[in-house]
Structure 1
Amino acid sequence: MKITNGMQEFFLSKIKEVLPKNISLIDTVAEVLDISYDAAHRRTSLKSKLSLEEAIKLSRHFNMSIDKLYEVGLQNVVAVEKTLIISSQEDLEIYFKASYENLKQILVMKDSEIIYSAKDLPIFYTSSDNILSRFKMYVWLQLLSENQNAVAFENFAPSVSLVTAASSLGELYANLKVTEIWDVTTINSTLKQIHFYYKSALLTETMALQLCDDLRELIESIEMKVVNDPQYQLFYNELLLMNNTVLVKTPVIKTLFVPYTILSYYKTSDTETLVQVDKHLKRQMRNSKLLSTAGKKEQRIFFNKMYKKIDALRYLIEAENVLDFE
């Protein structure tokens, strides 16, 4: 990606704004980039171009979004930061801890909220010390690990520190102001995972049925949140499928997370993009039913769809065991 003079000038001006008046921009650029004074002077005077790597290094040093580089010149380009690629228990633990620290910062800011377009069950609901949460960890690591050896769920042993990190994240999410948008398929992937690993003989019938029970308990707890938690809003969209996009809104900054693998996200604070996504999500909400104000009948219709799906999987597992002709 070529950096134009206009982009570089604007980017450097934003850095200069955060520098104390007695600190030289040239000296600062030279120090951060580990280059000579003359080389830094050529960049600040626009006689030499900043490389993208240098721009990233400067943005990180000043805790400034690299998106500032693109606010002039290329309106159709959005700079993104990638979250960690997960392939091991250690990576997953780091992921949970980083998510915890990010949410902790949001929790202390008044009028902050998370909007979650839930294609799957939000990860925070399966971040605790129960069988369903351990099963989800098992599935993620089976799908993401470079080691393709199939391991039975009963032989999967997450570390104590991993379970603790997951539980801390789940507890924190429960105290945030959250808006979730679900469609009728949000629960499907978890149901499919239970059935797949049961059919693959990596999950016993007893454990598969226990997972169905745990999933039902989770949906029951969400139904209670809809009724009793004023900080929680659940929208039911009957027209569109969700995509696991997460928009974090604080009085200071907005951040968008867009999935590119199962648990990894592209992260951006690009102003124009955030305005567009915010409008898009609000449009989705206008075309959805807000279950907390929809009345008991609408709430029961929605949650009964979830319960019937779970019951159908239970019946399927039990029937396959009874009708085993082999």
Structure 2
Amino acid sequence: MYQEKLFEKIKEKLNGKSLNEVLSGVLNISYDAAHRRTSLKSKMSLNESVIAAKYFGLSIDSLIGEVHKSYVSVEKTIQIKNEKNLEQYFEDSYESLRLIVDRKDFHLFYSAKDLPIFHLLKGNLLSRFKIYVWLKLLDKSFRNLPFKAFYPKLSTMQKAKKLGSIYQGVNVSEIWDTTTINSTLKQIHFYYKAGQVSFSIALELCNELKLLLDELSEKVVSKKNVFNLYYNELLLMNNNVFVFNKEKQMLFVPNSMLSYFKTTDKETCYEAQSYFRKQIKHSKLLNTSGEKEQNQFYNKMMEKVNVLIKLIEAENFLDFE
């Protein structure tokens, strides 16, 4: 069954060439021996299967998933333990998306449990802070490093900005709930209280967060249909990301902080797309909502930031009493 599926996949890549002739060359066997394998009269050895799959850029794991629908082949993104790993993560993520993004029919769905990473990679203070937070949580050497002493390498910032730039001008649908902004607010407050972020920097981070909300609000009211922001009051998001065009699709499912399981399995991607569309159907598209509903959402998010600003100012006042 796996052998038959492997040959089906190889045929898709031959452009009319003889399967037996190509296979005999790849495996260094006679034409008759290749014919016995393609006609399923002889079984391919594991070594032969691996050689053939590797030659044609196929995954043995993915074939198992196609034969047994309860199995899905996934690729795990790099586990981040230091800044070098983080830089590689930015580069790998960009390369994963680059080819599929470069199409007019490309679309990206983002279930935004947290602020989508693409909004946080602009090279500003907020970008530097988010990189600081990620490394504080993943790299033991950052344990006692204050934010004012942290400066990412130029190459890290360049690759972060490159990944962030892939989000510009492409069709995006983000689904937010009332808690999407919360983790960033908590991080600012936590590191301020821990003495790792100064009073002035904490307020500056809050103001940059407000600028980001202003920017997203402008995109919503522009009605250009490139950036679509949905608001769901019932479901909690999970940071799943689904990207697709007419020829390719890819699903990213969170594994750990910044690490994802990635799959191109057709059935799994189809199910993910169907689920995203159901979420969207039961969400409110702010782009086409009235001014009242748009302002309610914007004011709700902005008020969360203002509450944090007031809290930090009050705590700073008490510290100096």
- Alignment of 1:258 onto 2:253: yes
One-letter identity of the residue aligned with 1:47 = K
Q: Which residue of 2 aligns with 1:272?
A: 267
Secondary structure of 1:179 counterpart: strand
**Which of 10, 20, 29 is the equivalent residue of 1:15?**
10
Q: Is the 8 A contact 1:8 1:50 kept in 2?
A: no
Aligned to 2:230, the other structure's residue is in SS state: strand
Distance, in Å, in 1 between the alignment partners of 2:206 and 2:54 is 45
Per-residue displacement from partner, 1:25-71 (whole Å, max 9, x unpaired)? 1442x37xxxx98xx979875535537x964x754542335423321
**Aligned positions of 1:118-267 closer than 5 A:** 118-147=112-141, 149-228=143-222, 229-267=224-262
Q: In the alignment, is the contact (CA less than 8 A) between 2:242 and 2:252 conserved in 1?
A: yes
Equivalent pair of 1:10/1:69 in contact (CA under 8 Å): no
Please list, as runs of the form range in 1=range in 2, the aligned pairs for 1:48-127 lying within 5 A after superposition: 49-50=45-46, 55=50, 59=53, 61-64=55-58, 66-72=61-67, 74-127=68-121
TM-score (norm 2): 0.89
Q: Say yes or no: does 1:47 pair with 2:40.
A: no
What's the Cα RMSD here? Answer: 2.5
Unaligned stretches of 5+ residues in structure 1: 1-5
1:319 aligned to which of 308, 314, 320: 314
Cα distance change on mapping 1:25 and 1:235 into 2, 3 Å? same
The 8 Å contact of residues 113 and 177 in structure 1, kept in 2 or not, is answered as yes
In structure 2, how many angstroms separate the alpha carbons of the residues matched to 1:245 and 1:134?
24
Structure 2: segments with no counterpart, 5+ residues: none
CA drift at 1:176: 1.1
Deviations 1:100-155 (A, max 9, x none): 33333233212111011111111110101100000000111111224363211111
In the alignment of these two chains, the number of paired residues is 312
CA contact (8 A) 2:107 2:245 kept: yes
- Aligned CA distance change for structure 1 residues 269 and 298 (closer, same or farther; 3 Å): same
2:301 is equivalent to residue 303 of structure 1: no
Q: For 1:275-319, what per-residue CA distance to the aligned partner results, in whole angstroms no more than 9, with x for missing partners? A: 211111111111100000011111111111110100011111111
Please identify, of 96-105 and 202-211, the stretch whose mean Cα deviation from structure 2 is larger: 96-105
Q: Is the 8 A contact 2:135 2:142 kept in 1?
A: no
- CA distance in structure 2 between the partners assigned to 1:280 and 1:293 by the alignment: 22
- Given the alignment, which residue of 12, 23, 26 partners 1:25? 23
Per-residue deviation, 1:21:
2.2
The equivalent of 1:3 in structure 2 is none
CA contact under 8 A between 2:128 and 2:152: conserved in structure 1?
Answer: yes
* 1:49–1:303 CA distance, 2 compared to 1 (3 A): farther
- Please say if residues 81 and 267 of structure 1, whose CA atoms lie closer than 8 Å, have aligned partners that are also in contact: yes
